[in-house]
Structure 1
């Protein structure tokens, strides 16, 4: 009778898979013995497996290279990494070693770029694409980077005012892009993205503000949709509309030579995941070249902005099942030793799916369960709504610890969860490891951060004494004049 956990996975999916294997009743991830990792570092535990970042980048570069060769495509391909997916130093340093470019979304991103540039990991040949809605600090930082000589910093215009703001802080000639405000999927509560400039307004915007601009030159058109690159009628329709804008713009703007097709590749969120990356890349290149050839314009250089695809599949989060609660005849709650809200906020906020597997006891019988977090919040759970199907795990036994893992959690979770800060119900951030391999394939394990402590929480909450800074009191009559030097300030 096949009633073991291994039998369930083996019969349900094509298993083992590229990154998963079973040895001695335990799960291995990219050849890493997860039971041994838990034995050495405990749970809850997060880790980043850096070789997967390089692997995914190189795979995507290969797909675009092959498609461009197949279609005799005259333009270049540039892979850009979206820093907002994960700002960690070990992530960016790993990605940059493969020769990628950078896409930013806020002011502090530029500070990271400058830091990496000082270290030689970013050079003047690295494109820095500046997206997002830009205001004072972001504008100033972009201006500083371009004024320092980084000509390949390209701010992407999001609204009509940004061009004049950039012009005021940039001393030399500079390149810009324009973001298209694409239409959203029918299921959205609104029709058009809040970001960018509408399709019909882009050519008039160029003619009025950019065509005769003394310093700014239009270099790039940016196309982004929230769904990412998927083989759907919605995606191909939006891409076609984008190409019509590109063709119209190219005919009046000779300097335009690049198309940024943002909205990245999906990542594997289930053992049943299927996606033909090579086909999608081939068809995108074919559609772009065909449209340009028919219109008699030169096909553009292609930029992509891959965030989740770059870093998502490099991450994992491991827990122990502490206790099982039988709440009624049908529902068994396996309580983990952490919180889904704090450690995997996407599973809680947007029902994001992740691959979930038992780490040990694969030869034990299985049962259907729900997974609950430690907080007192009723939404702190992971069940079939987030998962691809009902959750099955080896049967809970008090005398035999059960460990589980969530995989491909490397994108957004730390950023959204507020890494290093306060967490819901003061559940601490887990210990975080960085795993890498040398040229011979030997595994290295670095403790990036220990689990948060009560002292860190108390400090954040103001319970520990700090040196108080001097208070400055502005006289009421001068509240509206604080930009002027004659304002009256009294020290107390």
Structure 2
């Protein structure tokens, strides 16, 4: 009878997979890392960042777009920007910047990170710094500091019409700028047009009235982003062509315009059955832009992307121990974890985001259907079939054997959304954070980036 946890996974998904396999002890390996060794050393709850995955993803995207450009004879170049808001950690930026990329910022303090990276020799003043977001005075002042100190490829992207006046007051040197297009949202959204950027019909008149005769500004980039991400849907291709059409109109009267920023939105693997044809999508994006430009006799733009989750999401994992099982009725078995979903994986409850969930050990044991509960005294602190496309099955609970579960591809947004290092729900401490890298010989190296949050740090924040 095939009733072991291994049998369940083996029959349900293609197994093993590129990043997931079992070692000789029937425990889970991830990217060739023996997870139980890490967990035995550091304990749970535990957050892990596997740095080589970041470089792998960047090189993958650069290869896809460059191949698409070569296949179609596209005349523009491809530039990869990392969207810093996905994860601001120094080890993430340092790993990403090993791959000859550029940076996209969202707020004032991002600029301080840029300056720190320059001081440590991680970036040059020639790299592109694309500055997005609604800009208040401090953000503009910080951008001006970069421009006025000789950064030659800072591109503040106009998000609303009033920002240009702030730029005019603050920037001493001639400046490249961009304009963000406010895309139309899908019909199921609560609002019709994105709150970010200028409407399609406003952009050409805005350029003529405010930028065309102002010698301080050189319009270089049009930027857009589809909130639902890059998907092979009629909605996405329609919005892409609308944006390219704006580029075509503007290029005819603005010779300095030479770049189209298509934002981010590549999805990451959220299930062992995940299927997304990245190569096809990249080729179609390039072909659609080329076709529209060629049919209008306009030079093809350089392409910028701002991948955040795609860059860093699959480098993260979060591990918990099952500390007890509560039988609430005849049907519901609640496995209680030694942490909280609301604080460690806030996207799981806030926006019902899915992560890959697997048992780390005891794959040789029979399985059962369970619900997972967090430690906070909040009814929303759970993970179950309502938030997961399938029911949760784990090895049968045994109080004599420690059960470890892992949530994979948690590397984007969870720390910043969860309030990393601050006060979290029910004063649940932030877990240990371990960084995994490989040396020149490919050997795994680990270091403790942050200890589990202490009561003293929380008391200090709270004023005690």
Q: TM-score, normalised by structure 1?
A: 0.94
1:490 is matched with none
- Structure 1 segments of 4+ aligned residues over 6 angstroms from their partners: none
Shift of 1:427: 0.5
2:2 is matched with 2
Shift of 1:439: 2.0
Shift of 1:263: 2.9
Shift of 1:329: 1.2
2:100 is matched with 99
Shift of 1:167: 1.1
Q: Encode CA deviations 1:106-143: one digit per residue, 9 max, x unaligned.
A: 00000000000111111022100000000110000000
1:357 is matched with 358
Shift of 1:223: 1.1
Asked whether the 8 Å contact 1:336–1:371 carries over to 2, the reply is yes
Asked whether the 8 Å contact 1:226–1:263 carries over to 2, the reply is no
Asked whether the 8 Å contact 1:264–1:304 carries over to 2, the reply is no
Answering whether residue 341 of structure 2 is matched by residue 340 of structure 1, we say yes
Superposition map of 1:114-153 within 5 A: 114-153=115-154
Shift of 1:311: 0.1
1:157 is matched with 158
- Alpha-carbon distance between aligned partners in 1 of 2:152 and 2:214, rounded to the nearest angstrom: 17
1:368 is matched with 369
2:14 is matched with 14
Shift of 1:89: 0.0
Q: Encode CA deviations 1:383-414: one digit per residue, 9 max, x unaligned.
A: 11222210000000001111100000000000
1:204 is matched with 205
**Aligned Cα RMSD in Å?**
0.6
Shift of 1:25: 1.4
1:325 is matched with 326
- Alpha-carbon distance between aligned partners in 2 of 1:304 and 1:385, rounded to the nearest angstrom: 34
Q: How many pairs are equivalent?
A: 463
List alignment gaps of at least 5 residues for structure 2.
none
1:444 is matched with 445
- Alpha-carbon distance between aligned partners in 2 of 1:438 and 1:398, rounded to the nearest angstrom: 39
2:403 is matched with 402
Which secondary structure does the structure 2 equivalent of 1:181 belong to?
coil
Q: TM-score, normalised by structure 2?
A: 0.99
Shift of 1:187: 1.0
Asked whether the 8 Å contact 1:366–1:394 carries over to 2, the reply is yes
- Alpha-carbon distance between aligned partners in 1 of 2:278 and 2:262, rounded to the nearest angstrom: 15
Superposition map of 1:169-184 within 5 A: 169-184=170-185
Structure exhibiting the larger radius of gyration computed from Cα positions = 1
2:68 is matched with 67
Superposition map of 1:296-335 within 5 A: 296-335=297-336
Asked whether the 8 Å contact 1:227–1:263 carries over to 2, the reply is no
- Alpha-carbon distance between aligned partners in 2 of 1:44 and 1:88, rounded to the nearest angstrom: 19
